[in-house]
Amino acid sequence: MLAFIRRSILLGIVTAVVLLVVFPELRTKMIQPKVSLTTIQTDQPQLSYNFAVRRASPAVVNIYNRRYNAEDRLKLSTQGLGSGVIMSDKGYIVTNYHVVAKADQVIAALQDGRIFTAQLIGKDQRTDIAVLKIQAENLPVIPLSPDYKPAVGDVVLAIGNPYNLGQTTTYGIISATGRSGMSFYGRQDFLQTDAAINDGNSGGALVNTRGELVGINTASYQQTTDIETYGISFAIPYELTQKIMNKLIADGRVIRGYIGIEARDINPVMARLYDAEQVSGIIVMGMDPNGPAAKAGFKVQDILIEIDGKKVTDRRNVLDIVTELRPGNSVEMKVLRNGQVTTLSVLIADEPNGY
């Protein structure tokens, strides 16, 4: 029996040796290949917004709103916080009106650790913009691109100081452009985004994937309406921000033209009712009795078709044209009255209460 087992074992070994000689590839399969730790090369780039953040974030500052203590007029206490954007190497910083509106002192903290007391240059409630100035050198300035036009679907990054946690970046897309008639800010146009904007983000930068300024973050819909919503936030477009900033630097406030009319947009049906072939224009429905339009001879049901050589399209267009007119200047306006074009000279006034 033992001899039989030995013969079986010997036969098995001989058979294995023969198989390895005849089929050498079996030898490689018996040996485990060495594990390689070499990184797999791929042509697919990693999706990252680090370049944009590194380019824009140094110009976004933390804003601290300080007020005198009611019980001790010599004591300042921090009442609120927000963010701001350095727009110029001369030290001009844009933030939100609501961030600094009630402040007795404003502190700007830069990302490089420098802290400054900021001077309030001017503020505008309608657009929720305020301009500050600090005395400093070697300031990081936000990259600007006047050629960039925001479009729905563009990826954007919101940079700010939410809840005083420190600089934070959130991302999303532009959900809509030209949002006007917001009850919380009047008639200005805003960008809508789903990038998260929380308390402390106000006044921070909304930038594109190149790190260029798209707008100034102002609020989320939830913050302004107390309605529980998510993914609906607003920013002041760069072009409007720049325009208001320049006005505040020049005059300390935004001077807007005023003519004192109430009007409705005209449509083809209304044009037929008023026996007017002209469709583009607005219909005067009422006037400030002491306003420039009334003094110039405007009448209810006049159709305003041209202001200072510019064609009128709708109420939004009229508001934009009139607010840019300088008070004290006389401007020719054309109206359609009883089918006839009449030219009126209107002395532009300063908008009452700056609003």
Among 133, 167, 186, residue at a domain's last position: 133
- Which is catalytic among the residues 57, 83, 124, 128? 128
Residue 100 · residue 130 · CB < 8 Å: yes
Give DSSP secondary structure letters for 158-224: EEE-GGGS--EEEEEEEEEEEE---TTTTT--EEEE-S---TTTTT-EEE-TTS-EEEEEEEEHHHH
Residue 98 a catalytic site member? yes
Query: Which residue segment(s) compose the domain that 215 sits in?
Result: 155-251
User: Catalytic residue at 128?
Assistant: yes
205 annotated ligand binder: no
Length of the chain in residues, anyone? 355
31 is in an annotated binding site: no
* Count of helix runs (H) and strand runs (E) in the chain: 9, 20
Q: Is 286 annotated as a binding residue?
A: no
pLDDT, residue 184, reads 44
Residue 44 covered by a domain? no
Q: Of 80, 100, 133, which closes a domain?
A: 133
- The answer to whether residues 258 and 355 touch, using CB atoms and an 8 Å cutoff, is no
Phi-psi region of 354 (alpha: psi -120 to 50; beta: other; left: phi over 0): left
The pLDDT-based confidence of 164 (bands split at 50, 70, 90) is confident
User: Count of domains in the chain?
Assistant: 3
3-state secondary structure of 17: helix
Is residue 92 situated within a structural domain?
yes
Identify whether residues 169 and 247 lie together within a single domain. yes
> Do 232 and 263 share a domain, yes or no?
no
Same domain, 161 and 126: no
Residue range 109-136, pLDDT digits in tens: 999 999 999 999 999 988 899 999 999 9
Show the CA angle centred on residue 82, arms to residues 81 and 88, nearest 5°: 130
The last residue of a domain, from among 229, 251, 273: 251
Please check whether residue 16 lies inside any domain of the structure.
Answer: no
DSSP category for residue 244: H
Task: Tell me, yes or no, whether 179 lies in a domain.
Answer: yes
Among the residue ranges 232-236, 269-273, 340-344, the one predicted with the least confidence is 269-273
- CATH number of the domain residue 81 falls in: 2.40.10.10
Give yes or no: residues 340 and 268 share one domain.
yes
Cβ 206 vs Cβ 234: under 8 Å: no
Summarize the confidence of residues 64-70 as an average pLDDT: 81
pLDDT, averaged across the chain = 82
Q: Tell me the average pLDDT across 316-342.
A: 88
